[in-house]
Chain A
């Protein structure tokens, strides 16, 4: 079970406060269970969500494991120039 912190717009979309607890071992499973448990997250998943694990942001590596007690923070997928 990992505690997942959500950025403002995402937390508003699922109406469940700023954090959710999810049983997930990696980013793929996290997204899958988020979509399953909170249908409101779907448009954000389509647009792209980045996952910060202990402060390091992952945008594409959905196999990345979510360590126990790590800080997991979801952010909109950003773009650069």
Chain B
């Protein structure tokens, strides 16, 4: 059945309501099963040995003593993970990151692993593994790494994107450039120019649940993996490729997830657990400690960004440019590119240029973190915009409104925008009561905008109708933020039944076609589109069955308000048939009633947000506290408004933590100094005010209900909004994130000294 995903206006009955989430009771009573809550008969305990050096050649690994220890069932090194990557450089980097092959590239890089009967034996075995290292010079700071004298993370990286290609290797993996016009020409017309450099430190996604999995590989080449992930289909593919397994013979089941935010879109320990299980011939459970999570997984980039923005006296921006250096950890990636694309995406600029540099350092592989790379770029740009408004003597929101991108604007990353929503978020901010609320002593207010691309992707769902008329929906995008509730609302809406009649589950990889990860704010956007299609297919079947029951042509049956109705003069007086009645008759009208859908959900549309933040700074201690915060963002259509608000609040909370406290701290020895939540401080409830939200609903033209992704954009403005507020409260421009008390005190001291 053909499917048109275009938006058409309708009056919703279920969508837009706020029922209780179906997974809520299990989660608050402890029944929900997370990564570490699953067990298999005879399972072993896996543990990983990690490099104690920031950069070292692995000369020799002797596992013989560990293998002889009673209770040890398998010990592996990179030799047990042969290279099946067949020239795929990205896949090889994943393999090398999972277990170092020739060099340990950062403090915490896995070098060997064991599986034993119990944890004490496994830990003892790790101590018996003898690794001979040749310690190499290291570099962990993004600015140090770009210097010609910096130690090389890799010996043979010649910067891509340069013409001509450099003849000497460096830590610059790639140079990228975006923009249009002639920025020098634009700056020549500026009356006021702001030019500043900004730094942001590396942060972790800070998910509460550590990485955990249970792996079982059989001698016949089949396997199972229970894992905490944002995308079990992607994990299946990566794991099967790395272990040389047939993809369809590895069944992966996703557990409940205690946060991911991008950090669980990548395999880390899972291939190791599978390799341990394959060698031992028994299941292996591998759960990371918090220290391992910090040392060995997913931080975002540290950045160093130079921004220059010029404007005429009336506030029209004449030109904008930025040079952005993003650390990638020990493996090249696209983080600076995303920063370069998103930096000026909120604005209508005649002359704009961004240059990004992917910088390799001896730190863990940088990973996606909620709208990856956009928050740090926005911090630099939105801080400069704020300063520009001050220099011109113009209200910062008015300056943004004057220069905001709109339909027909050529975006800073290239294409011309269609209808977009930054204008409405700015207008809503301008008119929000927060903007006119009085500020107290030592308080300041900041505003910032943010942009993010949203994505769709491959999606597959099954919708099965039970004989009692209840509906089971199986989706393959992992529920990280309440999607099961939202998707049940969509199924109920489309079928014309109640929310309580629908149960949504996340199915394993052997039960559905491929589903992309829950990333790019795609979960509800994509799965709801697929559910609408599956429900429409099911309604077609239900009409056929009703026609069979009535013995009339199917064309004379319509589906309205959850019932089949006969139309036409010949049988218009037939009483309607409910879903329950048709389902009960299904065994004798053709068997099970179901709707299926496999599609590519594209056309997610870009997303914008505007945030307002009030901060109070203690001038004696330098401590900054957010006292009021407002998020304004377009949701297209808020399917379950409570969870949309939750996404807005969650993004803001993470951004506030990033802005004020969170920071990877490395010593001179290149070792991480604070791999734990005591020394790496994420915000807790008492650190935050109630975060106010305003949902705008401008329908997405490329979704039947107008739904837009909402998960990521909310983390883009907070760094800048908080920084602008702190700068206002402290009377000094803050240029280094996080704005921890010592940094604020130093800025205050420097200002008073001047």
Residues from 224 to 265 in B contacting A, C-beta threshold 8 Å: 261-263, 265
Are A80 and B341 also in contact (CB < 8 A) when A5-B414, A73-B415 are?
no
Please give, as numbers and ranges, the residues of chain B lying within 8 Å of A67 by CB-CB distance.
Answer: none
B413 at the interface (CB under 8 A from A): yes
Task: Specify the chain A residue showing the minimal Cβ separation from B263.
Answer: A81
Please give, as numbers and ranges, the residues of chain B lying within 8 Å of A12 by CB-CB distance.
Answer: 161, 163
Please give, as numbers and ranges, the residues of chain A lying within 8 Å of B712 by CB-CB distance.
Answer: 80-81
The CA of A8 and the CA of B178, in the complex, are separated in Å by: 7
Residues from 396 to 426 in B contacting A, C-beta threshold 8 Å: 411, 413-418, 420
B455 in contact with A59 (CB, 8 Å): yes
Task: Specify the chain B residue showing the minimal Cβ separation from A7.
Answer: B414
Please give, as numbers and ranges, the residues of chain A lying within 8 Å of B603 by CB-CB distance.
Answer: 56-58
Which residue, of A56, A58, A60, A81, has the highest number of chain B Cβ atoms within 10 A?
A81
Given pairs A60-B456, A60-B458, A75-B414, 5 additional interface contacts (CB within 8 A): A54-B416, A55-B418, A57-B602, A71-B415, A80-B452
State the A residues within 8 Å of B (CB). 5, 7-9, 12, 47, 52, 54-61, 64, 71, 73, 75-76, 78-81
B605 at the interface (CB under 8 A from A): yes
B602 in contact with A52 (CB, 8 Å): no
Task: Specify the chain A residue showing the minimal Cβ separation from B409.
Answer: A55
Q: Which of B109-117, B519-527, B613-621 faces chain A?
A: B519-527
How many residues on the B side are at the interface (Cβ–Cβ under 8 A)?
48
Please give, as numbers and ranges, the residues of chain B lying within 8 Å of A5 by CB-CB distance.
Answer: 414-415
The CA of A26 and the CA of B59, in the complex, are separated in Å by: 53
Please give, as numbers and ranges, the residues of chain B lying within 8 Å of A73 by CB-CB distance.
Answer: 414-416
B334 in contact with A79 (CB, 8 Å): yes
B337 at the interface (CB under 8 A from A): yes
Please give, as numbers and ranges, the residues of chain A lying within 8 Å of B178 by CB-CB distance.
Answer: 7-8
B602 in contact with A54 (CB, 8 Å): no
Return 30 A-B CB contacts under 8 Å, by A number. Answer: A7-B413, A8-B177, A9-B176, A9-B177, A12-B161, A55-B416, A57-B415, A57-B602, A57-B604, A59-B456, A59-B602, A60-B457, A71-B416, A73-B415, A78-B341, A78-B453, A79-B338, A79-B520, A80-B262, A80-B372, A80-B452, A80-B453, A80-B454, A80-B455, A80-B519, A81-B261, A81-B262, A81-B368, A81-B371, A81-B519
Please give, as numbers and ranges, the residues of chain A lying within 8 Å of B370 by CB-CB distance.
Answer: 81
Task: Specify the chain A residue showing the minimal Cβ separation from B370.
Answer: A81
> Would you list the 9 A-B pairs with minimal beta carbon distance, nearest first?
A81-B262, A80-B520, A81-B368, A52-B415, A55-B418, A73-B415, A61-B602, A80-B519, A60-B600
- B367, chain A: closest CB distance, angstroms: 8
B515 at the interface (CB under 8 A from A): no
Residues from 144 to 184 in B contacting A, C-beta threshold 8 Å: 160-161, 163, 176-178
Please give, as numbers and ranges, the residues of chain A lying within 8 Å of B413 by CB-CB distance.
Answer: 7, 75
B372 in contact with A59 (CB, 8 Å): no
The CA of A73 and the CA of B376, in the complex, are separated in Å by: 26
The CA of A7 and the CA of B454, in the complex, are separated in Å by: 19
Please give, as numbers and ranges, the residues of chain A lying within 8 Å of B263 by CB-CB distance.
Answer: 81
The CA of A47 and the CA of B592, in the complex, are separated in Å by: 42
The CA of A5 and the CA of B371, in the complex, are separated in Å by: 25
Task: Specify the chain A residue showing the minimal Cβ separation from B160.
Answer: A9
The CA of A65 and the CA of B612, in the complex, are separated in Å by: 41
B414 in contact with A58 (CB, 8 Å): no
Please give, as numbers and ranges, the residues of chain B lying within 8 Å of A60 by CB-CB distance.
Answer: 456-458, 600, 602
B455 is contacted by which of A7, A9, A78 (Cβ under 8 Å)?
A78
- A23, chain B: closest CB distance, angstroms: 21
B559 at the interface (CB under 8 A from A): no
B176 is contacted by which of A8, A55, A57 (Cβ under 8 Å)?
A8
Please give, as numbers and ranges, the residues of chain A lying within 8 Å of B605 by CB-CB distance.
Answer: 56
The CA of A59 and the CA of B603, in the complex, are separated in Å by: 9
Please give, as numbers and ranges, the residues of chain A lying within 8 Å of B338 by CB-CB distance.
Answer: 78-79
- B647, chain A: closest CB distance, angstroms: 13
Task: Specify the chain A residue showing the minimal Cβ separation from B260.
Answer: A81
B602 is contacted by which of A47, A64, A76 (Cβ under 8 Å)?
A64
Task: Specify the chain A residue showing the minimal Cβ separation from B417.
Answer: A55
B326 at the interface (CB under 8 A from A): no
Task: Specify the chain B residue showing the minimal Cβ separation from A71.
Answer: B416
B451 at the interface (CB under 8 A from A): no
Which residue, of B334, B454, B602, has the highest number of chain A Cβ atoms within 10 A?
B602
Please give, as numbers and ranges, the residues of chain B lying within 8 Å of A55 by CB-CB distance.
Answer: 411, 415-418, 420, 606
- B281, chain A: closest CB distance, angstroms: 36
The CA of A62 and the CA of B683, in the complex, are separated in Å by: 43
B334 in contact with A76 (CB, 8 Å): yes
Please give, as numbers and ranges, the residues of chain A lying within 8 Å of B304 by CB-CB distance.
Answer: none
B453 in contact with A56 (CB, 8 Å): no
B161 in contact with A9 (CB, 8 Å): yes
The CA of A70 and the CA of B261, in the complex, are separated in Å by: 35
Are A52 and B453 also in contact (CB < 8 A) when A61-B600, A80-B368, A81-B262 are?
no
The CA of A76 and the CA of B176, in the complex, are separated in Å by: 11
The CA of A9 and the CA of B262, in the complex, are separated in Å by: 26
Please give, as numbers and ranges, the residues of chain B lying within 8 Å of A71 by CB-CB distance.
Answer: 415-416
The CA of A55 and the CA of B410, in the complex, are separated in Å by: 9
Please give, as numbers and ranges, the residues of chain A lying within 8 Å of B341 by CB-CB distance.
Answer: 75, 78
The CA of A64 and the CA of B5, in the complex, are separated in Å by: 12
The CA of A59 and the CA of B702, in the complex, are separated in Å by: 14
Please give, as numbers and ranges, the residues of chain A lying within 8 Å of B334 by CB-CB distance.
Answer: 76, 78-79
Please give, as numbers and ranges, the residues of chain B lying within 8 Å of A58 by CB-CB distance.
Answer: 602-603
Task: Specify the chain A residue showing the minimal Cβ separation from B518.
Answer: A80
B521 in contact with A80 (CB, 8 Å): yes
A52 in contact with B372 (CB, 8 Å): no
- B239, chain A: closest CB distance, angstroms: 19
Please give, as numbers and ranges, the residues of chain B lying within 8 Å of A59 by CB-CB distance.
Answer: 455-457, 602
Please give, as numbers and ranges, the residues of chain B lying within 8 Å of A78 by CB-CB distance.
Answer: 334, 338, 341, 453, 455, 520
- A13, chain B: closest CB distance, angstroms: 10
The CA of A9 and the CA of B175, in the complex, are separated in Å by: 9
Please give, as numbers and ranges, the residues of chain A lying within 8 Å of B176 by CB-CB distance.
Answer: 8-9
The CA of A12 and the CA of B417, in the complex, are separated in Å by: 24
Please give, as numbers and ranges, the residues of chain A lying within 8 Å of B371 by CB-CB distance.
Answer: 80-81
Please give, as numbers and ranges, the residues of chain B lying within 8 Å of A8 by CB-CB distance.
Answer: 161, 176-178
B369 at the interface (CB under 8 A from A): yes
The CA of A47 and the CA of B332, in the complex, are separated in Å by: 14
- A63, chain B: closest CB distance, angstroms: 9
- A68, chain B: closest CB distance, angstroms: 16
- A19, chain B: closest CB distance, angstroms: 11
Contact with A along B96-110 (1 / 0, CB 8 A): 000000000000000
A79 in contact with B414 (CB, 8 Å): no
Please give, as numbers and ranges, the residues of chain B lying within 8 Å of A75 by CB-CB distance.
Answer: 341, 413-415
Contact with A along B586-617 (1 / 0, CB 8 A): 00000000000000101111100000000000
